[in-house]
Structure 1
Amino acid sequence: MTDSPLSQAQFDAITEAAAHWCMRLHAPDCTASERQAFEQWLDVHPLHLVEYEAMLEIWDVAGDLPRPESNIVPMVRPTRTPWRTVGMAAAVCALALPLAAYSGWNLGWLPDSYQHFEATDNVRQVTLKDGSQVELNLGSELTYSNYKDRRQVTLGKGEAFFSVSHDTSHPFVVKAAEGRIRVTGTKFNVWMYEDQVKVNLIEGSVLVSSNDDLPGDGLRLGPSMQASYGHGDYMPRISQTYDNDNSLAWRSGKLVLDDLALNDALPLINRYLENPLVVADNSTGAIRIGGIYNIKELNTLVTSLPKVLPVYLTRNKDGNPVLNSIPQQAPKS
């Protein structure tokens, strides 16, 4: 960010982020990496610290917010507040105290409940505060916040299948990468890898937007439809799914690759790998792969690929495995 005036949307985003960090730093499962990310967030703009300190004021007097369950002390650095923001800090904090009388809830920008879930080595089923059921794939993480005007999930990474409790007056919003999925009650799957997102609708309807900053609620999906988007997409790409679609095979512990080019298959595989596979060039990426694999054993797939495909493995400077196509020998004359 720069010192130029912030838009209302940017200011609201900072306020929401400050509320998120306030809750995470009070949570007993807050990790060292999250604390490091919080430090980095503070350094981006001086208003981040101002808003965070104001949020702490609200936290201290808002009795209906989740309370700390341990002696975790939020990382606040008041001595680093720039002098030019002291006046702004005083103004924000002055507003924070009367707003806290409403516990932030009546204003619709502070939740009354918050949950954080992770799935590491096993698929995990969880129940959200609103009664919605979520199944998390391996290596997945999400948070749930209940606001006055919406139920909000942020998919931090991975994949999740949602069975959402119906509530037309209280929409359910999933934020994934730069976009969002908005529903009132339905069943759908969200897959995310880096900035790529794919939404598969099973039942009901959803609205999908590829960028949360764009106006409107997005494109509507009906049953047996899917949407996908990535960084910079103005609109999601919509397509039809068919009876043989295998996007939900992970719920049975499987990854199904149905004669895909490596360029298309690697994001599905890399979601499960600590060191992602890369292809050396476009000709390697065009090689096709198929098969059914156990999602808990995909690390073994890396070393077995040279046995089933015309490729060999090297390592790049980052230590990631690289697939190289084996040059075909010209036929002897």
Structure 2
Amino acid sequence: MMNQEALAWVIRTRDPQFDDWDGFTLWLERDPAHAAAYDALMADDADLEAIIPPDPVGVPVAANDVEPGRRPWRWVGGGVIAAALVAAISVGMVNRSDIYTVATRPGETRTIALGDGTTIDLNGGTRLRLDHKDARFAALDSGEAAFTVRHDAANPFRVTVGDVVFEDAGTVFNIVHAGGATRIGVSEGKVIYNPQAEAIALPAGRALTDDTQGLRVMDIAPAAVASWRQGNLVYANAPVTQVSEDIARSLGITVRFTPQAGASRFTGTIHLDRNAARFFAGAAPLMGLSAVRQGDGWLLKEGPLKEGNEPQS
């Protein structure tokens, strides 16, 4: 069913008159596997062209709907398209064996060395796709990853996050993709956000957030980029909701917060500690909050803890 949906979106998004980008984005965000299925079928573009019938019966096509040399794909009913679906999915499954996934559990980190000299550090709770045949490609489905890229102007390294592309220009950068939002910070070189569209240049010391409020570009201390690799989380006026997500990802614990605590913001450096009780005993007061054990996780609350109620492991 998922592959059928993916092929339906491939067909629709290739139509020059397609305009349901909001619906497409919601479908991608509903399950990380959706992006994988869509990307696999898109990568098999040539095979799909050969599989889908050139002129589906009963579907008139206006001449000005098609780019020169291209044939539009339509999502139409009937046995012909049903057969094409099965064939196309089979082609995608066979030919995309070069795409592989690397994943970490919450609290787990991992370093990957690619054949081109690039290294990728994965933080906890991260899912990343790579290509055995193309060391200049990565797709971050969820979580956080830091990239130290060997620059090649003739063959730039590209990271896709949903329908967004980040292209390096000799770079060290960190990307977080969680909760429907994407954040990138650059500590060396330069990254181009969507080079074929907005083409926003992000040099060292700049960051970008892409969420429901739109695109925002801001300054960031280069030392704060991927600081989790050194065991620290560094923030400048960050919402506690974001801090909580980062803590959960890095330590592999569940972090909740009251509405008032979640609405607060934090500037400073938090040292990561695998001992959760010890970590929150130090981190919560830094944020002007308190932390208590709650079920299988921790709850951040407004105000300091009363004496004798320190976090317990």
Q: Determine if the TM-score, normalized by the shorter chain, exceeds 0.5.
A: yes
- 1:288 shift after superposition: 5.0
Distance 2:88 2:127 in 1: 34
Counterpart CA distance in 2 for 1:134 and 1:319 is: 31
1:136 correspondence with 2:155: no
- The residue number in structure 2 matching 1:169 is 154
Aligned counterpart in structure 1 of residue 182 of structure 2, from 179, 186, 197? 197
Cross-structure match for 1:239: 218
1:262 equivalent to 2:236? Answer no
**For residues 1-12 of structure 1, what are the structure 2 equivalents within 5 Å?**
6-8=12-14
Match of 1:86 in 2: 79
Which letter does structure 1 place at the counterpart of 2:121?
E
CA offsets 1:24-82 (integer angstroms, 9 cap, x no match): xxxxxxxxxxxx986xx6xxxxx98xx69x99x99xxxxxxxxxxxxxxxxxxxxxxxx
Deviation by residue 1:303-328 (Cα, 9 ceiling, x = unmatched): 7767775546486xx9765433359x
Q: Which runs of 5+ in 1 are unaligned?
A: 12-35, 42-46, 59-82, 105-109, 328-333
1:1-80 pair list within 5 angstroms: 6-8=12-14
RMSD, aligned α-carbons: 4.7
Q: 2-side partners of 1:112 and 1:165: how far apart?
A: 25
Tell me by how many angstroms 1:179 deviates: 2.9
Question: Is the alpha carbon distance of 1:138 and 1:128 closer, same or farther for their aligned partners in structure 2, counting shifts above 3 Å?
Answer: same
Q: Which runs of 4+ in 1 moved over 6 A?
A: 92-97, 303-308
Counterpart of 2:166 in structure 1 is 181
Alignment of 1:228-307 (within 5 A): 228-231=209-212, 233=214, 236-242=215-221, 245-256=223-234, 262-272=240-250, 273-281=252-260, 285-286=263-264, 290-294=268-272, 296-298=274-276, 301-302=279-280
Structure 1 pair 146–90 and aligned structure 2 pair: CA distance change class (3 A): same
Report the Cα offset of residue 159 of structure 1. Answer: 1.7
CA distance in 1 between partners of 2:129 and 2:211 (Å): 21
Structure 1 residues 6, 134: closer, same or farther in 2, change over 3 A? same
CA contact (8 A) 1:146 1:152 kept: no
Identity of aligned residues (%): 18
Query: Matched residues in 1 for 2:89 and 2:240: separation?
Result: 53
- CA deviations on 1:171-206 (whole Å, 9 max, x unpaired) are 322123553312254221212332222212222221
Whole-angstrom distance in 1 between the partners of 2:15 and 2:116 = 27
Provide TM-score, normalisation by structure 1.
Answer: 0.56
What SS is found at the alignment partner of 1:182? Answer: strand
CA deviation string 1:265-297 (max 9, x = no partner):
323323334423222336x63375755322534
Shift of 1:217: 4.9
The CA deviation at 1:87 is 0.3
CA contact (8 A) 1:126 1:134 kept: yes
Which position in structure 2 is the counterpart of 1:123?
109
Q: Which amino acid aligns with 2:145?
A: A
- Assess if the C-alpha contact under 8 Å between 2:187 and 2:225 holds in 1: no
- TM-score normalized by the length of structure 2: 0.59
Cα deviation for residue 220 of structure 1 reads 0.8
2:302 maps to 325
* 1:126 CA displacement: 0.9
- One-letter code of the match for 2:254? N
Mapped partners of 2:181, 2:253: distance in 1: 18
- 1:175–1:300 Cα change, 3 Å: farther
Pick closer, same or farther for the CA change 1:306–1:182 going to 2, 3 Å.
closer
- Structure 2 regions of 5+ residues with no counterpart? 19-30, 49-75, 305-313
Give the whole-Å Cα distance in 2 for the aligned partners of 1:291 and 1:190.
19
Amino acid aligned to 1:225? R
Relative to structure 1, the CA distance from residue 111 to residue 151 in structure 2 (aligned partners, 3 Å threshold; closer, same or farther) is farther
Is the contact made by 2:237 and 2:265 (CA closer than 8 Å) also made in structure 1? no
Give the secondary structure class of the aligned counterpart of 2:224.
Answer: coil
Letter in 1 for 2:258: V
